[in-house]
Structures are given as structure tokens and as C-alpha cells.
Structure 1
Amino acid sequence: MSNDFHDLGNYLKEKRIDEGFTQGALAKKLKVHTQFVSNWERGLCAPPSHCFHHVIEVLKLNREHIVEVMLNDSKRIIESKVYKKKRKLKSA
């Protein structure tokens, strides 16, 4: 599994801890399985769009900051693809 949401996962974990939630307590509040919260925090996936707004509210996330965090993850993914392709072309 890929760690495409590394920065988002770290941010969500930090905010969860700041708000005093365990993974289980947050999962219960969001009405999702604890494994989902664990997967988010490990950067394996992002919260699905149908509950993302609730995550923002419960963890009191700054909307502008979360956009920056997600853009950083996207930038890293894109750069890794671009530079991998570039290296492969040079060695061919």
C-alpha cells in the first residue's frame, strides 16, 4: 500500500491528539470503524468526501491549512512520478 497521504495523516493524528481523542473515540464520534482512522493517520488514504466535513468540524481543523497539507501531498506524488519518468528516459 502506498503512503500517498503522509502529510495529511500526520496532520490528522496531531489534531486528534490535540483534541483529546483516541482513535477509537474519534471513530465512534465520526461513525466509522477505528481501522479507517488508523488508515488515515498512516497516510494510506484520506477520509472519504461524505465524512470529510465532519472530520473538519470534530477536529476543529483550519480549512486553509488542510488544503495546504493536501496540496503538499499531491505535489510530492506528482514530483515522484515526473522525476521517476525522467530518470527512466535518461537511462534508456
Structure 2
Amino acid sequence: MKRIHQKYMTIGTYLKEKREQAGLSQGDVKQLLGYKSPQLISDWERGICGPPRDSLAKLVKAYKMKSRDLIDLFLAAERTELVNALRGSSRSRQRTL
């Protein structure tokens, strides 16, 4: 069973919304990006993983997104993950002291 990553949930929801607004199916995106299966697109949208960086420019164009919006989403997800890791790390240290 594939594990959902909180880091990618917001990004995945955004990508699905933009894909649907662009009138594209997961199969359409698969073809656009040269993938063999639409499963990878489904995985992005469900928060299993994020899209490869070398696909982002094509996604921005196909989905008619603003690059800045996608960048902001990735940065926010990364920031949240780092903050949570640091909080967890400092809690672990406090317990051992």
C-alpha cells in the first residue's frame, strides 16, 4: 500500500484542481509528459509523491498555472516539513535531558 505524504497533499489537490480546470484527464497528462501510465499523475494528486522537477515547466504550461503559485506551494510544503522536523528534534532532545 502506498503511503500518503502530508508534504504533497496540498500540492496534489492543487494539481488535480488545475488539471480539471484545464479540461485534461490523467491520461492526457500522461501522454503530454511521455509517461507509460497515468498512475503517476494519480499518485501526485493523492499526495503519494510530488511531480519530478523536470516535469514542472510542462505542467505549468499544460495546466495554465502561474509558476509563482506552484513555487509557493512547494516552498510552503517544504517549510512545514522542516518546522515539524525541528520541533520533533527539539522535543526529543528535551526528553533526553
TM-score (norm 1): 0.87
Tell me what 2:11 maps to.
8
Tell me what 1:22 maps to.
25
* 1:4-53 Cα distance to aligned partner (Å, 9 max, x none): 22221111011011112222222222222201101111222222122221
Q: Does the 8 Å contact 2:12/2:45 carry over to 1?
A: yes
Which letter does structure 2 place at the counterpart of 1:54? K
Unaligned segments of structure 2, at least 5 residues:
none
**Does 1:49 pair with 2:53?**
yes
Q: Does the 8 Å contact 1:5/1:73 carry over to 2?
A: yes
Root mean square deviation of aligned Cα: 1.4
Which letter does structure 1 place at the counterpart of 2:79? K
Which letter does structure 1 place at the counterpart of 2:33? L
TM-score (norm 2): 0.83
* 2-structure distance, mates of 1:77, 1:39: 19
Aligned residues: 92
Report the 3-state secondary structure (helix = DSSP H, G, I; strand = E; otherwise coil) of the residue aligned with 2:51: coil
Shift of 1:2: 5.0
* Identity of matched residues, %: 25
Once superposed, which parts of structure 1, at least 4 consecutive aligned residues long, lie more than 3 Å away? none
